[in-house]
Structure 1
């Protein structure tokens, strides 16, 4: 029997975690083993959803965390507190990753605060439901690509100025890159671009011994869901997955933590698929 969520709706992208009911599960399920001890990680979209779970998960493994977010200040404050409760340092930086200038400023703030950069998690994204392909406006198309693709390029470009041998980049893509989605054509297209970005960048950086991998979640319970869909769709989110439920952010973040760690030392250009059992061609 499939699990359902309460009907709910948010009117702002990318949504607020504190307004969700129930709130997503973001805490790591296991004790840390110092896999990322004294590393420094930047996580875009780190205020909530998968990004928050990644931030807390990496902090539990010993990393200091910088989260970038758009304007969800309350969620960002909580994530910083959660990281600090794991005994690690954290800063939050608000701004639009679709701006190359902001990405440059954010990375320099991280370097000034922590003095190093070992892990980049490109995670921030937005999506907009459109019933008919002809209704996708130029403004929406450009906005979605600017956040979901340009932002990854900009932040990576700035981060690589400081990343050294042994560093890791982990990109969040989506199951929609492989299956498509008739109501999220522009979003799915950006996620496909990130798969190609991951594979290409991994080849470009392999000689520098910087690994680049990705995670392609399926239906996950994050603020992006009530901020995107009508209440009826939200209630059924994840029901069509083989496991018949939505995944939780902490069921995805463990993939990011693994790929950032030396446990994944022989992996680059790869994509992990925490999607509730859907088999995709990777």
Structure 2
């Protein structure tokens, strides 16, 4: 018998700052980041925890959503992947990873600010797979501004249309198809508890998502549907290249006690936990994954 593998030190397991500045236009591509984010293609090991499931994941082309899609597929779930058309290249990379582990994938490009498109995401998922077990509301928009006066009306609305209104449209459309045992997982943020002055509208939407999660969990408990949220801390994704000032890129993640940003692959297990039917007593939870940052 070979000796057990050494457990990696979480402080040094993944890249640490300083990083290069790497601004991109929204929504950003993974291949243009240095270093590229780790999505768990080669490291996440599934154990059939979501065998036979179907999951609809928004923002699944890159970042946290991509790692979740790969982990869910390795756990046995087929995937409906929603993303912006500008991210087609990343989405096709994710689709290839899903198909390599023997699961089916449905690509659903489009803008979730459109209520009709949100309803179509659910309708097409049901038409293709005939069921829906887990809905992951993950897609988001973020843009930093030094002052409230710099935010125009359109940009303000875009934050809420993408981060909050789309979540309402998609969840409402999905509810008639969710059976007892189904799970809804929303991506909030540590910004819900610790808002950043340069991210006023983004932080507001993430606080609203946390509130929506807990309220909806109470509303759906009698239907046997669980609702939870993950609150990521500083995570190394294209979101950073497009949604943070360039001068912040070099030191990104250094504010966490671990001294580095998290990788998307490090969050995937939290979403798997919340989707796993074995964890049936977990609902209304707000789960931080933030490198040790204290959240109160």
Secondary structure at the counterpart of residue 215 of structure 1? strand
Is the aligned partner of 1:59 residue 2:73? yes
Aligned to 1:37: 51
Contact 1:9-1:229 within 8 A present in 2 as well = no
Separation (CA, whole Å) in 2 of partners of 1:275 and 1:230: 20
Structure-to-structure mapping, 1:101-250, within 5 angstroms: 101-250=116-265
Deviations 1:151-204 (A, max 9, x none): 111110111121111100000000100001010000000000000000010011
Extract unaligned runs of 5+ from structure 1. Answer: none
Assess if the C-alpha contact under 8 Å between 1:49 and 1:249 holds in 2: yes
2:295, 2:252 → 1: CA distance? Answer: 19
Q: 2:42 aligned with 1:26, yes or no?
A: no
Summarize the alignment of residues 55-94 of structure 1 with structure 2, pairs less than 5 Å apart: 55-71=69-85, 72-94=87-109
Secondary structure of 2:228's counterpart equals strand
Task: Give runs of aligned pairs for residues 236-275 of structure 1, distance below 5 A.
Answer: 236-275=251-290
In structure 1, the residue corresponding to 2:49 is in which secondary structure? coil
Gaps spanning 5+ residues in structure 2: where? 1-10
Once the two structures are superposed, residues 24-51 of structure 1 have per-residue CA deviations (whole angstroms, 9 ceiling, x without a partner) of: 1111634211110010000000000100
SS at match of 2:103: coil
Deviation at 1:20, TM superposition (A): 1.0
Indicate the residue corresponding to 1:15 in structure 2.
28
C-alpha distance in structure 2 between counterparts of 1:151 and 1:253, whole Å: 22
Q: What is the alpha-carbon distance in structure 1 between the residues aligned to residue 227 and residue 25 of structure 2?
A: 31
Q: 1:6 corresponds to which residue?
A: 19
Count of residue pairs brought into register by the alignment: 281
Q: Distance in 1 between matches of 2:239 and 2:52?
A: 31
Moved over 6 A (4+): none
Instruction: Kindly indicate whether the alpha-carbon contact (under 8 Å) linking 1:44 and 1:67 is maintained by their aligned counterparts in 2.
Output: yes
Superimposed CA distance per residue, residues 59-95 of structure 1 (whole angstroms, 9 cap, x where no aligned partner): 0100000110012000000011111111111111111
C-alpha separation in 1, matches of 2:142 and 2:232: 15
Q: Give the structure-2-normalised TM-score.
A: 0.92
**2:258 alignment partner, SS class:** coil
Distance 1:5 1:83, change over 3 A: farther
| TM-superposed deviation, 1:229 | 2.3
Give the TM-score taking structure 1 as reference length. Answer: 0.97
Q: CA RMSD in A?
A: 1.3
- Helix, strand or coil for the counterpart of 2:207? helix
Q: 1:6, CA displacement in angstroms?
A: 2.9
| Aligned residues of 2:44 and 2:265 also touching (Cα < 8 A) | no
